[in-house]
Amino acid sequence: MDGLETQFDETIAADQRIEPRDWMPEAYRKTLIRQIAQHAHSEIIGMQPEGNWILRAPSLRRKAILLAKVQDEAGHGMYLYAAAETLGVDREELTEKLIESKQKYSSIFNYPTLTYADIGVIGWLVDGAAICNQVPLCRCSYGPYARAMIRICKEESFHQRQGYELLLAMVNGTDAQREMVQESTNRWWWPSLMMFGPPDADSPNTQQSMAWGIKRHTNDELRQRFVDMTVPQAAALGITLPDPGLVWNEERSAHDYTEPDWTEFKAVIAGSGPCNAQRIAHRRRAHESGSWVREAAVAYAEKQAAKQEAAA
Amino acid sequence: MTKKNWPLYEVFVRGKRGLNHVHVGSLHAADDEMALHNARDVYTRRNEGVSIWVVRADHITASSPGEKDPFFAPAGDKVYRHPTFYAIPEDVPHL
Ligand SMILES: [Fe+2]
Ligand SMILES: [Fe+2]
């Protein structure tokens, strides 16, 4: 037991990866299951706000792009459930926990997509924030999670660029279209900042996660990186970020910005965001009405296997 | 009806001709054929492969990490299997 723990500590200290069949502390395993499941659920629930616009996207090109993006998010969910399963949980069990609200997903997906500009802003800000969070996870100490993140990050860049391109088209359009982009940015800015999680002082698990090499940067470090990246992108669109406190700080070589409303964040996490109930109800409906398909596929597979056995 | 979950498959993809199949992840499917289709949709949406293998996870036999040292020990003392074992003068080309 002691020898195993020493081996684990040495592997982490040497910045080597932990693999599924290695011994690991129970708390490490639990932390990873919680984080990876939460991440997988976010990808799956995240299909809903964007899926809402596939039929209404204004051209075949935009429909095809949005469809491909939403399909990617389903794929991301699958990579992540597969990574979680290497830790000894079952995907079915995780889905059940999601629809019983026993596990969480990112608070951002509890906000509604009210206009088509939201599709552009989600690609730009929400996928942009996701990229900031996810790039360091490619070096996570748990091998299967890190490898899933590498695949995901390769695909995310298309997500962000399609969103930004869509916004460029809109800001170069009519006044009404420019206003739509500004209004959408105003709504998504604060929830996007919340995607990095609570401020460091209020994030008790960060230290342990960093010691284990699961996390590489604190929430506030990543949030700062996102703000600094986004400011010139907003300028190029001719869009104002809705924070009068957002100014360049020469001394810190970084932007000062206003913290989002953390009371709202906590309320949304706790279940009272604008769309929490709708998102879970939809996921439950999809899961339950798909059950006959899953059962039929098993019945068919069993029948085929029996036939083959009889023929052999 | 008792719930039966789809079995787990491990997925291996050959990136292009001349390369080995490499493990890329896993998925659930009711049978082998569905596993291949799902593997194509989940792991090769951007032409990541020219060939896919799917294997039922419970058909794989693996070395266990507990016996890691003795299992891989035979390779440990055979450094002469590696090209760097041999000292060759720097000015000899193409070696
Ligand atoms: Fe994603
Ligand atoms: Fe994405």
Class of domain B3-62: alpha beta
Nearest-Cα residue of chain A relative to residue B7 = A298
ipTM of the complex: 0.89
- One-letter amino acid identity for B92? V
Question: What are phi and psi for residue A45, nearest 5 degrees?
Answer: -65, -35
Tell me the shortest Cα–Cα distance from B52 to chain A, in angstroms: 16
Q: Residues near A94 by Cβ (< 8 Å), separated by ≥ 6? A: A37, A40, A41, A81, A84, A103
Q: Looking at residue B68, what is its pLDDT? A: 57
- Please give the Cα distance from A108 to A226 (Å, whole number): 15
Percent above pLDDT 90 for chain A: 97
Q: Looking at residue A2, what is its pLDDT? A: 74
Q: Looking at residue B1, what is its pLDDT? A: 43
For chain B, what is the radius of gyration of the CA atoms?
20
The pLDDT tens digits for B1-43 are 456 789 999 999 999 999 999 999 999 999 999 999 999 999 9
- Confidence class of residue B82 from pLDDT cuts 50, 70 and 90? confident
Domain ranges of chain B: 3-62
Report H helices in A14-142. Answer: 26-45, 47-51, 60-85, 91-99, 117-121, 127-134
Higher pLDDT, A2 or B12: B12
Q: Looking at residue B67, what is its pLDDT? A: 52
Q: Using a CB-CB distance cutoff of 8 angstroms, which residues of chain A are in contact with residue B41?
A: 75
Q: Around A139, how many Cα atoms within 13 Å sit in the side-chain half-sphere?
A: 11
Q: Looking at residue B95, what is its pLDDT? A: 74
Q: Which two tokens stand for residue B29?
A: 């499917």
Tell how far the Cα of A67 is from the centroid of ligand 2, in angstroms.
12
What mean pLDDT is predicted for residues A306-312? 90
Residue that is written with structure tokens 């001349």 in the block: B18
Q: Do B42 and A78 touch (CB under 8 A)?
A: yes
- Please give the Cα distance from A35 to A108 (Å, whole number): 16
Q: Looking at residue B69, what is its pLDDT? A: 58
Nearest-Cα residue of chain B relative to residue A145 = B25
What mean pLDDT is predicted for residues A244-270? 97
Q: Using a CB-CB distance cutoff of 8 angstroms, which residues of chain A are in contact with residue B5?
A: 90, 92
What mean pLDDT is predicted for residues A19-31? 94
- Confidence class of residue A35 from pLDDT cuts 50, 70 and 90? very high
Q: What is the mean pLDDT of chain A?
A: 96
The pLDDT tens digits for A136-176 are 999 999 999 999 999 999 999 899 999 999 999 999 999 99
- Confidence class of residue B91 from pLDDT cuts 50, 70 and 90? confident
pLDDT of A12 over the 90 cut: yes
What mean pLDDT is predicted for residues A170-195? 98
Contact between A29 and A139 (Cβ < 8 Å): no
